[in-house]
Structure 1
């Protein structure tokens, strides 16, 4: 893949792409499903070819200027479908007229040629059009077409899934800037879309010269990994299974998707290859016991005249057996109410299934997976402080949270209160928030928590992470109740978050590269 995409670039084109728009024109031949589906009325049902929808979704937020075109004479149902598709993804739409004489490009394409870095993507190349495009400094990408003139300077790809990485490496080549890096990223689709909509993953370089491209598990990963400079990953999105009996000794007992497993093997075999962040640094965050042990190390930050910073009191249990459990609670000096959490912190379906328990009898028939941890429930005025460490920058936001225990107990009906902390977390009502009368600005010692964030960065060795802090009403203790890798940090405004995000990635990459070279 590398030799095809890079060597095909015209060596006589020296003008850099930076400071110019990058335009990508997609011919109908690469978007429409060539097989079609014939209905009973013998009408062809127009549809996108496999992989086209994902491509268009990613191009929409790529910071590239994209247009869809089609040749003159395309059936009305197909041209109408393409026009609607272009409008759906906020792309340009360009029906082409038949070329005649020496005018093979329309006026708009000629205009783009002088001020933009342009790609024309097709699965069938008209010889005259090809020559005219190249004469006007267009790069032509041909998909699955082996009949294109040899040595024509056309970039060949065999599948639509190759287009994004081909664009990324071609743009980097055109820039000719040694500070530009291609970042391959891996995460689940919903997370990718959330980041992409905020402008996090531009293919046209970010302000600090980062080019982002998704790694595709449909293509050979080894060749993709040779194209990118580093990999940004949310490895927990690719966990298939965790053996709870092995959870205390991560990474033992973790099964990953085949694609992620291949990336892990590649990184192990290429010790100088950069991933953000190293897999071993993330494993402790999969285990709530290990998280607790990390947080306990922060308690030394507390000093006279400052609030106490601490982890919540907790107990690991292997069984919900009443008699044995009563003894364990007494020894751990834990009292009700208690939050019951699975020991496995993320990566599996039930990792966020929890319960709030008000008395010992409520442990019977509890559905929270074992092994589990019992954690003190802290009355915190229904406010939670979400902190994000993005490189060297620290941000925080205040959010409404669970009500105090007395409110929850009165509404529990004498049963455990079960919830999923990602979906159905009980949140205080407006009336309960008014009753608490919490003054947010006076509640939190921000300097103390920022010191904790800096120490956590050293302890964890992570580039981007988040943690949640609650302030105990009775004591003013600052209690860190959650810790996670690569959060969405959606509460941070995009115009602040994205530059910090890009800077954090680039600084981490440069730092790790420097370490491997010394």
Structure 2
């Protein structure tokens, strides 16, 4: 079997004749975190081969691929992959650029959550009250006051482009300090959630939830004493895991499984995506009121427990589909 000019002889453990060729276009950082040796070895033994896409050559000249995984930014790449989808409908692209683009804007990414009604699934899921600021930072205090938004407020860049800057978050304790920030940005009311955030990883139909340490509650007393805008630490690191911590059960209890399954199913359908994660918090003092605060495309799956097996099973479902379609000789 020849792929990108190289001969592939197969690996021990593959079922005879059944292979899935996965072309990937990832940044070096994403490749290192995602294509870890244990994962590649497990996938290879199941007949799944990962092949790097050469960005210096036309995509149509490479392969043949059964499936393409990608996470690159830029209009040029989006056009390349969109053109490829049109000319190679037999190849599964995870995920379509138009669907991914929906998550590049923090205002649009949560709109699908706003419209959900999950009351029959053991909980309520919503979005914190928010406001978009596109220009004129000096006008922010007046806009916040007129909108009646409650302090403190979390300030996030409006555009999510994969850069470090797009993940720089701030917590504002008073309206007037907000004029120090740089639009375009989105302001969200801060919801006390006991310092724990739930990261819900979606891989097709599979769901995996982990706890992460987050921001502590802000008391009314603290709010009255503190002024200013302060940068927030990132909570995506595996070192921030709260899964083994001795936490109050009311804070640590995972969201109900039926709620997660319904939420994941609805968002997969509405977003048109297979690979994403949801950052969700539980309102402190409640058991069943949750807020989605962020959605990320193709997150750091390497930090997800058992990701190797979960992702391999996900890819195997495409292999099974591929060979079911083949005519019987």
Determine if the TM-score, normalized by the shorter chain, exceeds 0.5.
yes
- Please state if 1:166 is matched with 2:6: yes
Q: 1:329 to 1:490 in 2, by over 3 A?
A: same
Q: 1:472 to 1:513 in 2, by over 3 A?
A: farther
- Please state if 1:467 is matched with 2:283: no
Q: 1:335 to 1:442 in 2, by over 3 A?
A: same
State the partner residue of 1:336: 151
State the partner residue of 1:504: 314
State the partner residue of 2:49: 211
- Please state if 1:390 is matched with 2:227: no
8 Å contact kept, 1:387–1:395: yes
8 Å contact kept, 2:145–2:175: no
Separation in structure 2 between the aligned mates of residue 195 and residue 287 of structure 1, nearest angstrom: 24
> Shift of residue 464 of structure 1?
1.9
- Please state if 1:381 is matched with 2:221: no
State the partner residue of 2:291: 479
Higher relative contact order (CA 8 A, sep 6+): 2
8 Å contact kept, 1:467–1:480: yes
> Shift of residue 472 of structure 1?
0.8
Matches within 5 A, 1:228-247: 228-235=65-72, 238-239=73-74
- Please state if 1:353 is matched with 2:168: yes
- Note the residue ranges of structure 1 that are not aligned, 5 or more in a row: 7-161, 240-254
- Please state if 1:179 is matched with 2:15: no
Separation in structure 1 between the aligned mates of residue 235 and residue 252 of structure 2, nearest angstrom: 26
Separation in structure 1 between the aligned mates of residue 322 and residue 221 of structure 2, nearest angstrom: 47
What does the per-residue CA deviation read over 1:228-255, in whole Å, with 9 as the maximum and x for residues that have no partner? 22211113xx33xxxxxxxxxxxxxxx3
Q: 1:196 to 1:264 in 2, by over 3 A?
A: same
8 Å contact kept, 1:183–1:230: yes
Separation in structure 2 between the aligned mates of residue 485 and residue 514 of structure 1, nearest angstrom: 29
State the partner residue of 2:36: 197
> Shift of residue 288 of structure 1?
0.7
Separation in structure 1 between the aligned mates of residue 210 and residue 189 of structure 2, nearest angstrom: 23
Q: 1:347 to 1:443 in 2, by over 3 A?
A: closer
State the partner residue of 2:231: 418
What does the per-residue CA deviation read over 1:192-251, in whole Å, with 9 as the maximum and x for residues that have no partner? 1112225333497342x2111111224453321x4222211113xx33xxxxxxxxxxxx
Q: What's the TM-score once normalised by structure 1's chain length?
A: 0.54
SS of the residue aligned with 1:389? strand
State the partner residue of 1:402: 215
- Identify which of 257, 279, 285 aligns with 1:446: 257
Separation in structure 2 between the aligned mates of residue 423 and residue 271 of structure 1, nearest angstrom: 35
State the partner residue of 1:317: 133
State the partner residue of 1:102: none
Matches within 5 A, 1:280-291: 280-291=98-109
Q: 1:256 to 1:341 in 2, by over 3 A?
A: farther
Separation in structure 1 between the aligned mates of residue 222 and residue 302 of structure 2, nearest angstrom: 31
Q: What's the TM-score once normalised by structure 2's chain length?
A: 0.81
Separation in structure 1 between the aligned mates of residue 161 and residue 44 of structure 2, nearest angstrom: 32
8 Å contact kept, 1:341–1:372: yes
Structure whose CA Rg is larger:
1
SS of the residue aligned with 1:217? coil
8 Å contact kept, 1:352–1:420: no
> Shift of residue 265 of structure 1?
3.1
> Shift of residue 256 of structure 1?
3.9
> Shift of residue 376 of structure 1?
0.9
Cα RMSD of the aligned pairs, angstroms, is: 3.7
